[in-house]
Amino acid sequence: MLKIKNVRMINPATKTDIYGDITIDGDKVLSIKETVKPEGKGEKIWKEDAEGNMVLDGAGLVAAPGLVDVHTHFRDPGFTYKEDIASGAKAAAAGGYTTVIMMCNTKPAIDSTETLAYCLEKGRETEIHVLSCGAVTTGLKGEKLTPMEDMKEAGAVGFTDDGIPILDEELLREAFIKAAELSVPVSLHEEDPALIGNNGINRGAASAHFGISGSPREAEITMIDRDLKVALETGAIVNIQHISTKEGVELVRKAKAIPGNHVHAEATPHHIALTEQDVIKKGTLAKVNPPIRAEEDRQAILAGLKDGTIDIIATDHAPHAPEEKAKELTQAPSGMLGLETALPLALKVLREEAGMSLMEILEKLTCNPADMYHLSCGRLEEGKVADLVLFDPDEEWVLTKVHSKSENTPFMGERLKGKIYYTICEGKIVYAGE
């Protein structure tokens, strides 16, 4: 058995925030016992007791449900030089994640039950839970729907063409109707390419600095506006991914005020932590789709997280090889790593700048994403699967290496706040902080 003593347990699903002891037997949480707030900090190392149990003095640590990422690019099959399911799962565990949902822009795309089966099988070989969406359209071409019903049957937890927007409104409506029938979410990448000069760089201060046309906010706003209308009309569960504009946040806020809506929205750690001024400094490493925009957009995203308009923090973990990110700005691919820096970035920015509590932050990393995809994970409760993360929310550390196959993060060398000590999945220690 694993015994974690004197730890602060935060379970957002039940709004529980207590000090006490957790006992894990096999893959389940056997018991949670409340005690009193401990003095000082524990040693953070496991010791064997007389009965052969492994015991950790968790004083000073927070135990939360294992984090759930609903937006992960693992590049497998097809681009395994950037990441594969095994290396991605290691990066996830290092970031405190015990469940991730793969996006479908692999090669081939995850648009058939065969490719889905390959991913899920590879996922089962890892030490965390690797789940997957299915693509909405075949080859992400936006022309024809995939066999959504068969793919749900084969284990797809939802549908997305992430990376690529669905331009054909009629096809989108059809997909929403089918997804509503199947009771699964459709997650949407909202950028109209017709309005974009160069992707990944905000049209504004950043595009002016680099002397390029960039990607205007209207590209996102118009797509979110259209998609929310179709969502409300069809009753589909929709998820606006990686929201980047203040207007987008406001559109989601209005849609969520309509009774009976099934609207969700994600923010990424990088849209929470950075502005286009950082993109000017970091160049291709901070080039992402949709782009990181102005301070007023970042502030609107923080406000949206605080008031519940944005219910999910999702990484958009997007590995790319060094030689790809070394290309000139307009040629380099968009995307940055996310899994290993998400928790510290969220903890620092949302506590210090948005005044959010640990409970409010953790619910957007655990039960909210789990609930949207109808998953039972994201909870730390007696009798449930023992998926949890143990971290010191205030410890500062410097990011010097990552577990991912790629290294494309603008946060390398940065001082971060919030250090993960252990990730436990199905009762097994799958990551021990170095």
Catalytic (active site) residue 316: yes
With CB under 5 A as the contact rule, the residue among 76, 162, 340, 363 that binds Zn ion is 162
- Minimum CB separation of residue 136 from ligand DOR in Å reads 14
Could you tell me how many residues of this chain bind ligand DOR (CB under 6 A)? 12
Does residue number 161 form part of the binding site for Zn ion (CB under 5 A)?
no
Q: Which is nearer to Zn ion, 189 or 317 (CB)?
A: 189
Region near Zn ion per CB under 5 A, out of 160-168, 209-217, 344-352, 399-407? 160-168
Tell me the per-residue interface mask from 178 to 217 with Zn ion, x by CB under 5 A, - otherwise.
-----------x----------------------------
Kindly compute the dihedral angle of the four CA atoms of residues 376, 378, 383, 388, in this order, to the nearest 10 degrees: 140
Q: Which is nearer to ligand DOR, 107 or 415 (CB)?
A: 107
Strand duo 312-313 + 54-57: pairing = unpaired
Question: Within positions 178 to 207, which residues make up the interface with ligand DOR, using CB under 6 A?
Answer: 189
Q: Which does 96 bind (CB under 5 to 8 A by kind): Zn ion, ligand DOR, none?
A: none
Q: Which spans in 130-204 are helix H?
A: 148-153, 169-182
With CB under 6 A as the contact rule, the residue among 318, 332, 370, 402 that binds ligand DOR is 318
In which element (H, E) is residue 416 found? strand 415-425
Radius of gyration (Cα) for the chain, nearest Å? 21
Region near ligand DOR per CB under 6 A, out of 19-27, 49-57, 224-232, 333-341? 333-341
With CB under 6 A as the contact rule, the residue among 289, 366, 404, 408 that binds ligand DOR is 289
Tell me the per-residue interface mask from 93 to 112 with ligand DOR, x by CB under 6 A, - otherwise.
------------x-------
Does residue number 160 form part of the binding site for ligand DOR (CB under 6 A)?
no
Q: How far apart are CA 77 and CA 111, in angstroms?
A: 12
Q: How far apart are CA 370 and CA 70, in angstroms?
A: 8
Does residue number 271 form part of the binding site for Zn ion (CB under 5 A)?
no
Task: Select which of 69, 161, 162, 316 is catalytic.
Answer: 316
Does residue number 410 form part of the binding site for ligand DOR (CB under 6 A)?
no
- Minimum CB separation of residue 277 from ligand DOR in Å reads 19
- Minimum CB separation of residue 63 from ligand DOR in Å reads 32
Per-state percent for the chain, helix, strand, coil, to nearest 5 = 30, 25, 45
φ/ψ of 301, rounded to 5, equals -65, -45
| Residue among 26, 28, 131 nearest 89 (CA) | 131
Does residue number 69 form part of the binding site for Zn ion (CB under 5 A)?
no
Structure tokens at 243: 């929201």
Long-range CB pairs of 35-43 (<8 Å, 24+ gap) are: 35/6, 37/8, 38/6, 41/392, 42/5, 42/6
**Which residues fall within 8 angstroms of residue 146, CB to CB, at 6 or more apart?**
111, 112, 134, 135, 136, 137, 138, 159
Q: How far apart are CA 185 and CA 405, in angstroms?
A: 30
With CB under 6 A as the contact rule, the residue among 220, 266, 316, 324 that binds ligand DOR is 316
Amino acid occupying residue 308? G
With CB under 6 A as the contact rule, the residue among 69, 83, 162, 297 that binds ligand DOR is 162
Structure tokens at 195: 């309005």
Q: Which does 105 bind (CB under 5 to 8 A by kind): ligand DOR, Zn ion, none?
A: ligand DOR
Q: Where are the beta strands (DSSP E) in 196-316?
A: 238-240, 263-267, 312-313
Does residue number 61 form part of the binding site for ligand DOR (CB under 6 A)?
no
Q: How far apart are CA 176 and CA 411, in angstroms?
A: 37
Region near ligand DOR per CB under 6 A, out of 202-210, 327-335, 339-347, 414-422? 327-335
- For ligand DOR, the binding residues (CB under 6 A) are 73, 105, 162-163, 189, 288-289, 316, 318, 333-335
